[in-house]
């Protein structure tokens, strides 16, 4: 037996589609987040770079502002004189004035042994005067005949400073001393701290020499090798500082970790002494912004999907409406076409009939009138012979009736020969109905028919040909009488009314009814259900033709209580 699985299926196709869509949306979200994150991080980094450049500029400007001060001093005759032992006191005062006006911490002059022979802070505690700084690299380098600079913690003041030095030469171009300016960079660090940013400067050894956060000063970004450490100690660059490594890590390009906290990072070389300026930025902001973008994109996508769905359903709805309209239009067109074709068929049949009728009436006309003459002659001779001649009055009577009928047929046929389009004039149908019924009074009596008449009080006027309209009603009433021949109850109800811009004339009888024949069939020329010789099948054809010519309609239906109802609808005469 085949196994039947009645457990509900979890992964139905619609669910699979939904799952796939959800997965795709998640993947898209992740991709967008990644791209947006990269973008914002790059943007934040670019911004960080700009700010770092600004910090670098302030630092470089703070140093270079005083770059030429030692050189100017070195050319000063007073400095040279002092180095030769002349007017040292006067130079001290002069240096104090220069330090004051230029805004440097101190300016001083050293002799070739490294001894400070004049200093701007000669009268302060502690003073550089009398101190020997031969251990400082700036002194050694200047003594080699070139400008030098150095950064270190003051050996005397324990205040950090940037030292700019220049050799002093005599007329023989021999170096006879060194002029030095010590710059205090702490106001700059204080200004950086004010900005609230994490900015610091590390020297070539990785020692932080300047920082917005004071706790970072004298820490190192990387361990210092013992040989180098010994050198630094000899130069007394960072007196009393252990130079402990910082919890610092560079995480690939643009990223760093300080104290375990990840941060955006920009490091700019200062172009001086191998210094690098480091600026740290928020790393989380880019991620936050990226999430904002993902959410915004999701919202926009949802809105667009909703809009798309709405537009599509709107389009579908419109297309549906359109197709329905088109279908209705097509159906209407089709009906019109069928109608036109039926009409054309009818017209062509009537045209054929017209030609036939013309030839028949022409061919029969002559013999029929001849026969009429012979008959008259025979009747006269019969009268003369007292009814005993070869033509008895019985015979002439029979022949007369046959002639009547034949003439009746040709009369009917002549209708189709007659050119149509006789002028239409306003015709009040009320007197038309009265006259026709008066005309047929004899036939109605003969057929023992009860007539019921329902006429309006006022006139019902249509544009038309009165004789033709009479002909229609005559045909309908005659047919009704014929249809009731074998019926026990014989009633004809004729009614006329104006309703909805049309004149409506009905002829109802209690006869055998339409017996399933359509009104179109009944209007076919020569269609008849009556015994041969009794009917030609032209009455309704003629009536239909006349009604059509009047822009109207001839309808027929079985009456609810038995019998048939024929309805003629004609457009009313437009009121003047
Ligand atoms: P005819 O009367 O010569 O047969 P018509 O064109 O007047 O020709 O009528 C065609 C056919 O329509 C009739 O033979 C008859 O079958 C049907 N018909 C006409 N009028 C009625 C009616 N009032 N009730 C039932 N059938 C009718």
Each residue's pLDDT tens digit, 356-413: 677 677 677 777 777 778 778 777 777 777 655 555 677 777 778 877 877 777 777 7
CA of 479 to the centre of ligand 1 (A): 6
* Ranges of CATH 3.30.565.10 domains, the chain: 425-571
Residue owning the nearest CA to atom 16 of ligand 1: 529
DSSP, collapsed to helix, strand or coil, labels residue 329 as: helix
* Residue 452 to residue 392: CA distance in whole angstroms: 43
pLDDT tens digits for range 20-43: 888 888 888 888 888 888 888 888
How high is the pLDDT of residue 31? 86
Testing ligand 1's pocket by substitution, the residue of 540, 546, 568 carrying the most ligand atoms inside 8 A of its CB is: 540
The answer to whether the CB of 252 falls within 8 A of the CB of 276 is: no
How high is the pLDDT of residue 321? 84
CA of 496 to the centre of ligand 1 (A): 21
For the chain, which ranges sit under pLDDT 70? 1-10, 343-344, 346-356, 359, 362, 386-392, 415-421, 532-534, 576
* Ranges of CATH 3.30.450.20 domains, the chain: 69-183
How high is the pLDDT of residue 529? 83
How high is the pLDDT of residue 163? 95
152 lines ligand 1 (CB under 6 A): no
CA of 528 to the centre of ligand 1 (A): 6
CA of 352 to the centre of ligand 1 (A): 22
Q: CATH says 425-571 is which class?
A: alpha beta
525 lines ligand 1 (CB under 6 A): no
How high is the pLDDT of residue 351? 67
Which CATH superfamily groups domain 69-183? PAS domain (3.30.450.20)
pTM: 0.49
CA of 521 to the centre of ligand 1 (A): 10
Residue owning the nearest CA to atom 18 of ligand 1: 479
HSE at residue 466, side-chain half, CA atoms within 13 A, is 14
256 lines ligand 1 (CB under 6 A): no
CA of 494 to the centre of ligand 1 (A): 17
How high is the pLDDT of residue 1? 47
The DSSP annotation for 512-560 comes to S--TT--HHHHTSTT---SPBTTB-S-HHHHHHHHHHHTT-EEEEEE-T
Q: Read off φ and ψ for residue 114, nearest 5 degrees.
A: 100, 5
């Amino acid at each position: 037996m085949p196994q039947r699985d009645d457990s509900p299926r979890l992964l139905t196709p619609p669910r699979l589609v939904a799952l796939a869509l959800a997965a795709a949306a998640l993947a898209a979200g992740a991709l967008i987040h990644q791209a947006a994150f990269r973008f914002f991080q790059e943007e934040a980094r670019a911004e960080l770079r700009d700010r770092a450049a600004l910090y670098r500029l302030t630092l470089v400007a703070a140093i270079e502002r005083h770059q030429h001060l030692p050189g100017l001093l070195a050319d000063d005759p007073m400095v040279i004189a002092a180095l030769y032992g002349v007017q040292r006191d006067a130079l001290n005062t002069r240096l104090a004035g220069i330090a004051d006006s230029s805004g440097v911490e101190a300016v001083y002059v050293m002799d070739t042994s490294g001894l400070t022979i004049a200093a701007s802070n000669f009268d302060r505690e502690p003073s550089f005067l009398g101190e020997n700084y031969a251990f400082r690299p700036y002194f050694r380098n200047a003594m080699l005949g070139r400008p030098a600079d150095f950064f270190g913690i003051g050996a005397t003041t324990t205040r950090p400073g940037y030292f700019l030095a220049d050799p002093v030469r005599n007329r023989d171009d021999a170096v006879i001393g060194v002029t030095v300016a010590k710059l205090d960079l702490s106001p700059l660090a204080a200004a950086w701290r004010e900005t609230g940013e994490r900015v610091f400067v590390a020297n070539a050894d990785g020692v932080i020499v300047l920082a917005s956060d004071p706790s970072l000063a004298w820490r190192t970004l990387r361990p210092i090798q013992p040989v180098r450490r010994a050198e630094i100690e000899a130069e007394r660059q960072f007196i009393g500082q252990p130079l402990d490594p910082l919890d610092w890590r560079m995480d690939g390009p643009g990223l760093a970790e300080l104290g375990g906290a990840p941060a955006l990072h920009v490091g700019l070389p200062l172009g001086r002494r191998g210094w690098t300026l480091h600026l740290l930025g928020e790393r989380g902001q880019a991620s936050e912004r990226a999430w904002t973008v993902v959410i915004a994109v999701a919202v926009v996508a949802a809105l667009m999907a909703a809009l798309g769905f709405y537009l599509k359903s709107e389009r579908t709805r419109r297309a549906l409406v359109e197709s329905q309209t088109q279908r209705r239009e097509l159906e209407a067109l089709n009906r019109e076409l069928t109608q036109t074709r039926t009409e054309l068929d009818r017209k062509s049949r009537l045209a054929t009939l017209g030609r036939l009728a013309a030839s028949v009436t022409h061919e029969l006309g002559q013999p029929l009138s001849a026969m009429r003459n012979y008959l008259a002659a025979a009747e006269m001779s019969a009268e003369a012979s007292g009814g005993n001649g070869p033509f008895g009055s019985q015979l002439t009577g029979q022949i007369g009736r046959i002639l009547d009928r034949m003439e009746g047929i040709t009369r009917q046929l002549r209708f189709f020969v007659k050119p149509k389009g006789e002028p239409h004039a306003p015709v009040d149908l009320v007197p038309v109905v009265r006259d026709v019924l008066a005309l047929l009074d004899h036939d109605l009596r003969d057929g023992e028919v009860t007539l019921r008449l329902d006429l309006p009080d006022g006139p019902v006027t249509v544009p038309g040909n009165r004789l033709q309209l009479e002909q229609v009603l005559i045909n309908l009433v005659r047919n009704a009488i014929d249809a009731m021949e074998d019926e026990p109850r014989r009633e004809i109800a004729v009614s006329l009314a104006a309703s909805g811009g049309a004149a409506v004339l009905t002829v109802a009888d209690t006869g055998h009814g339409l017996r399933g024949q359509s009104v179109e069939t009944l209007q076919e020329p020569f269609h008849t259900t009556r015994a041969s010789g009794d009917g030609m099948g032209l009455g309704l054809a003629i009536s239909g033709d006349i009604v059509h010519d009047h822009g109207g309609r001839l309808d027929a239906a079985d009456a609810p209580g038995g019998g048939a109802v024929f309805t003629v609808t004609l457009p009313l005469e437009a009121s003047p």
